[in-house]
Amino acid sequence: MRLTRVTLAVAAGALAPALLLATPSFAAAPAPSAAAVVAPGTGSPYDEMDADDLRVAIARTLAEPASGRRVIREANELLDGATVEEMRAWLKTGHRLAQAEDDQVAIVRLLGDPDSGRRVIKEINELLDTGTPEQMRAWLETGHRLAQAEDDRVAIVRILADPDSSDALRAAAGAALDDNTPEGLRHFLEVGQYEVGS
């Protein structure tokens, strides 16, 4: 089953544009952003916005780092000539649905990433089996970084255990483990080990 997922991930990466246009949206939507949360019974903050304010709110989604192809495509289509009702409906529900689909594509692509180790792959498979859109968004924002750091620690320990590793490489690997930040571990694996040599 897992090997099949990896094969599917590679295919999904190549076909992502077509998949984004052809797949149905999630049935459940992720949690609204802080700006969209309002007290019960007061309605949506978008209900009181005029057309210009709605366009500004949609344009802001284009600047969000988490916005993927579907969010960007739909936001641009709305900015090109949607009615006030269409813009309001998208901000209330459509944006969350589009973001959920973009998040799922981003997670599937990580299955084919050569840097994804056991923990990253395990957590991705759990998310794809039982994860909600909210859990997928949270994992992309923080969980992936932490899971990748654990996989990077394992890779660095393997370098330390390799009898062919030079003393300089072992010293640099030890320093990366002592630093123990996700960014420091990743930097050592991507750059530092090659600067030191084997």
Of the residues 94, 112, 130, which one is the last residue of a structural domain? Answer: 112
Whether the full predicted model's pTM is greater than 0.85, yes or no, is: no
Both structure tokens of 67: 């916005």
Same-domain check for residues 149 and 196: yes
The predicted-structure confidence for 52-102, as pLDDT tens digits, reads as follows 889 999 999 988 888 899 999 999 999 998 888 999 999 988 998 999 999
**Which two three-digit tokens encode residue 79?**
């900015």
Which residues, given as ranges, of the chain have pLDDT below 70?
A: 1-43, 197-198
Same structural domain, 126 and 57: no
Do 71 and 4 lie in one domain? The reply is yes
Same domain, 11 and 34: yes
Question: Is the separation of the CB atoms in 54 and 84 below 8 Å?
Answer: yes
Residue 174 structure tokens: 């030890």
Which of left, alpha, beta for 28 (phi over 0: left; psi -120 to 50: alpha)?
A: beta
Query: Which residues form the domain of 45?
Result: 1-112
Q: Of 170, 146, 148, give the one whose Cα is nearest residue 159.
A: 170
Q: How far, in Å, are 7, 38, 39, 170 from residue 56 at the CA level?
A: 41, 19, 23, 52
174 and 76, same domain (yes or no)? no
Residues 12 and 73 in one domain: yes
